[in-house]
Amino acid sequence: MALGTVLDPSARRVDDIAHPGPPLGPLHGKTIGFRVDIMWRSWDWISALWAAELEAAGATVRFWRAGGRTGEEGARMAEGLKEFLGSIDAAIVGLGNCGSCTGWTIHDALAAAATDIPTIAIVTQNFDDLGHNLARRGGRSGLRIHVLPHPLNERAREEVEQVAREHYPRMLEAMDAAAGAAVSAGAAAA
């Protein structure tokens, strides 16, 4: 047996932001942006219900829908995302419900967090670890990630909306919304 010196074939990112970023605080008067996609109808249903709650609490809501991320459409998407992030005070970014869409959800959430607005990424349980791993690998381990049940998209709309109602106050709590925000919006947390 002979010892020798070998070189590490790997490369790792060392910088990290462990802080979750600014709190959401009061909802009234804020413009809150939902990043939706072309994949998950369940996320459309959930974000629509959450948007209604946020508007009832005095917030303004904007939506941005992500499509193809490469080629000419990808360039348009990158520009659209930049414009969207510049128009909102907080970002709710989903849905991580597959491998690549979790990748792009975290990518877009990191982009939002980099603009120093309150940000949360939404993933389903099966992709919880992936979301956190990608956030850490993206240099922001502290990114807020809220986890919905899995499987989700396979459920009927009524079931998905029940999930939305149950998770609305938890999502607000994870975003460090001002105390009582969910209650003031009349969210049915039961």
| Per CB under 8 A, 127 contacts other proteins | yes
Q: Does 67 engage in binding with other proteins (CB under 8 A)?
A: yes
Near other proteins by CB under 8 A, which window of 8-16, 44-52, 79-87, 166-174? 8-16
Write the CA distances from 161 to 46, 51, 151, 157, 186, integer angstroms.
Answer: 6, 12, 14, 6, 15
Residue 107 as a binder of other proteins (CB under 8 A): the answer is: yes
Site string for other proteins, 12-31 (x = CB under 8 A): xx------------------
User: Which of 55-63, 70-78, 81-89, 177-185 is the region at the interface with other proteins (rule: CB under 8 A)?
Assistant: 70-78
**Binding string, residues 74-93; x marks residues near other proteins by CB under 8 A:** x-------------------
Nearest to 96 by CA among 135, 131, 72: 131
Instruction: Give the C-alpha distances (Å, rounded to integers) separating 138 from 15, 51, 76, 79, 141.
Output: 9, 28, 23, 20, 8
Tokens standing for residue 47: 């974000």
- Work out whether strand 144-148 and strand 90-96 pair parallel, antiparallel, or are unpaired: unpaired
Which of 60, 47, 59 is CA-nearest to residue 171? 47
Give kind and range of the element (H or E) at residue 120.
strand 119-124
Stretch that binds other proteins, among 28-36, 53-61, 124-132, 165-173 (CB under 8 A): 124-132
Minimum CB distance to other proteins, residue 116 (Å): 19
What is the contact surface with other proteins in residues (CB under 8 A)? 1-13, 38-39, 67-71, 73-74, 98-100, 102-104, 106-107, 126-127, 129-130, 133-134, 137-139
